[in-house]
Amino acid sequence: MAGVVITGLQWGDEGKGKITDYLSNYFDCIVRYQGGDNAGHTVVIKNKKYKLHLVPSGVLQNKKVVIGNGVVVNPSVLLDEIKMLSENGINPDLMVSDRAHVIMEYHRILDGIEEEMLGKKKIGTTKRGIGPCYTDKVSRYGIRIGDIIDEENLREKLDRIIPVKQKIFDAYGIGKINVEKIFEEYISYGEKLRKYVGDTIYYLNSIIDEKEVLFEGAQGILLDIDYGTYPYTTSSNPVSGGVCTGAGISPKKIKKSIGIAKAYTTRVGMGAMPTEEKGKIGDFLAEKGNEYGTTTGRKRRCGWLDLVALKYSCMVSGIDEVALTKVDVLDGLKEVKVCTGYEVDGEIIDRFPSSLKTLEKCKPVYESMEGWDRARGKKRYEELPLNARKYVDYISDWLKIPVTIISTGMERNETIILET
């Protein structure tokens, strides 16, 4: 046995929460390996909506869940989530990496201020302190979960880091950092989290050969710091390879890579999106698909499915199978389009450009297909309207990758599984 990794193939919000929850049934342990509470997974079970930001969705199937070393953890958000789960009768069997970095209050403050300073050129972050926390990790100014369960360590780290942060705060005119308050607050979080903290790297390597382990990516490949639309990206590596650095697992232990794609495209925040539809179609998708962020409530930008971007994501994440979500949202449209190329400066290209300037100039080349009605809630492929089946088949032929899961509604059982 070995690991399976799930990654979002677009700009996040592909419905990974639902698919992970669905697949969790077949796994013993579910692991997050990057990102933080910028992620928002909505899972609906028997009409009850659960919103998870940090704890892997598999917790709702009462599975062992792990927050790996590559995740950035806001302890206050994590404790709230644990509380919400226990109020709903779920006591998470959770292990949090002692190496995971902690999002401090000053990270959140800096995220807000730096965005404000960028004005119209801002990234449109979730303001959860994700970028500043990863920046500190790489600059070696970070505080790790292991530090907040050890008073002496935290004291030492704060003494080293806060004078540097204070200089930045002074330059921004934010005010004095209260070190004692930070110390007390984070030691108290550490006390509450202590029982969950452990060396997840040894733990995961001890089970990976005997148990089924699912690695749950957050955000999407097009938001990846290396492969995404930089600088309009997040600060981590959602790509499947992120499992190696974010969970301490060798690439030899990953047996399958599953990509999640929405049947159309959405994006939150700024940055180029070639297939964005600003008119009626965009509004239709946003309303019908309830395209409002789980984390920030922001309305998502919507447009047609971009197969050029999707193929690129499948390539960098080594996708073996695709799960196609929200096919039912397209119900009722007379015509459905997919982008199969970009026109740039009079030339047609089929590659996702690395330059943002080029991507901004890309005009989508569309293939038009007949629409359908009543895909909603279907549980078998044969029950899907013919044109919806043609749409799914077109995508898998184009990508040369099988679509093995089709989601037709929010509920766990509104899912079609295809044999490969």
Give 111 or 147: the residue with its C-beta nearer to ligand IMP: 111
How many Cβ atoms from other residues are within 10 Å of residue 416's Cβ?
A: 21
Q: Is 385 in the site for ligand IMP (CB under 6 A)?
A: no
Q: How far is the CB of 276 from ligand IMP (least distance, A)?
A: 14
Give 286 or 416: the residue with its C-beta nearer to ligand IMP: 286
- Which of 21, 37, 41, 306 is catalytic? The answer is 41
Please tell me whether residue 232 adopts helix, strand or coil conformation. Answer: coil
- How far is it, in rounded angstroms, from Cα 105 to Cα 185? 10
Distance of CA 91 to the CA centre of its chain: 24
Q: Is 74 in the site for ligand IMP (CB under 6 A)?
A: no
Q: Decide if 53 is catalytic.
A: no
Give 297 or 346: the residue with its C-beta nearer to ligand IMP: 297
How many alpha carbons fall within 13 Å on the CB side of residue 234? 31
H helices of 126-258, where? Answer: 130-139, 151-172, 179-193, 200-207, 242-247
Q: Pick from 189, 234, 230, 188: which is nearest to 73 by CA?
A: 189
Give 130 or 416: the residue with its C-beta nearer to ligand IMP: 130
Give 11 or 342: the residue with its C-beta nearer to ligand IMP: 11
Q: Is 325 in the site for ligand IMP (CB under 6 A)?
A: no
Kindly compute the dihedral angle of the four CA atoms of residues 267, 268, 271, 276, in this order, to the nearest 10 degrees: 40
Q: Decide if 41 is catalytic.
A: yes
Q: How far is the CB of 368 from ligand IMP (least distance, A)?
A: 28
Q: Which residue among 3, 4, 5, 13 contacts ligand IMP (CB under 6 A)?
A: 13
Q: Is 265 in the site for ligand IMP (CB under 6 A)?
A: no
The contact mask relative to ligand IMP for 129-168 (x = CB under 6 A, - = no) is -xx-------------------------------------
- How far is it, in rounded angstroms, from Cα 31 to Cα 34? 10
Give 128 or 165: the residue with its C-beta nearer to ligand IMP: 128
The contact mask relative to ligand IMP for 84-123 (x = CB under 6 A, - = no) is ---------------------------------------x
**Piece of 10-18, 81-89, 102-110, 386-394 that binds ligand IMP (CB under 6 A):** 10-18
Q: How far is the CB of 176 from ligand IMP (least distance, A)?
A: 26
- How far is it, in rounded angstroms, from Cα 88 to Cα 10? 32
- How far is it, in rounded angstroms, from Cα 355 to Cα 373? 38
- How far is it, in rounded angstroms, from Cα 97 to Cα 104? 17
Please tell me whether residue 325 adopts helix, strand or coil conformation. Answer: strand
3-state SS, 70-93, equals CEEECHHHHHHHHHHHHHCCCCCC
Burial class (CB in 10 A: 0-12, 13-18, 19+), 374: middle
Give CA angle at 292 (320, 104), nearest 5°: 85
Residue type, 345: D
Site residues for ligand IMP, window 199-258 (CB under 6 A)? 218-219, 223, 232, 234-235
| Nearest residue relative to ligand IMP (C-beta) | 269
Q: Is 40 in the site for ligand IMP (CB under 6 A)?
A: yes
Give 309 or 392: the residue with its C-beta nearer to ligand IMP: 309
Tokens of 400: 């040369």
Rule CB under 6 A: which residues touch ligand IMP? 11-13, 38-40, 123-126, 128, 130-131, 218-219, 223, 232, 234-235, 268-269
Which of the residues are catalytic? 13, 41
